Amino acid sequence: MNHYAILRIVTKLLIPYILLFGLYVQFHGDFGPGGGFQAGVIFAAGIILYGLVFGIGAARRVAPAPVVERLIAVGLLIYAGTGIVGMLKGGNFLEYGVLAHDAQHGQHLGILIVELGVGITVAAVMITVFFAFAGRERTE
């Protein structure tokens, strides 16, 4: 699709806002609609749009497959790690109240970190699925 000038320029204009909106949904998820899953999907959609218009090679340079594949596990580890830190601080697994000096602040912190983990995993999985599907060619 590299020779469609309108498509290319509009995509270039849109992608920063899509990624920014993804980050907004991620970090504003405690106060407005959204959360990790939605943010991850929106963020991944930005990268996928880039790959569709500028070619899968360009998308791979932006989000190298080995890094993205490791991020799948990193996101889940952040989630599990938050739970384990809570245990080390004397609470139950995934009990956020003990993470900060004040139970409410602890809850805020725990939810923010956990949602970040969800967002990273979801975005990485979506991008990986995109690469896997787009990288395949007709075998017959």
Partner 1 sequence: MTESAATQLATQLIVILLLALLGATAITIARMRQLWAAVMLTGVFSFLGASWMLILDAPDVAFTEAAVGAGISTFLMLATLGLTSREAKPPTGFKPVPLVVVIVTGCALVYGTLDMPHYGDPDGHIHAYPDPSYIVKTNGDKGDPNDSDGEINLPNVVTAILASYRGYDTFGETTVILTAGVGVILLLRRERRTTGQPEPPSADANTGGPA
**Residue appearing with tokens 């699709």:** 1
Rounded distance between C-alpha atoms, residue 119 and residue 41, angstroms: 8
Q: Binding to partner 1 by residue 44, rule CB under 8 A?
A: yes
Contact 120/74 with Cβ under 8 angstroms? Answer: yes
User: Is residue 87 a contact residue for partner 1 (CB under 8 A)?
Assistant: no
101 vs 136, beta carbon nearer partner 1:
136
Residue 26 within binding range of partner 1, rule CB under 8 A: no
Three-state secondary-structure class, residue 100: coil
Tokens 């996101």 -> residue: 75
Q: Where along the sequence are the contacts to partner 1 (CB under 8 A)?
A: 25, 29-38, 41-42, 44-45, 48-49, 52, 69, 72-73, 75-76, 79-80, 83, 94, 96, 103-104, 107-108, 110-111, 114-115, 117-118, 121-122, 124-126, 128-130, 132-139
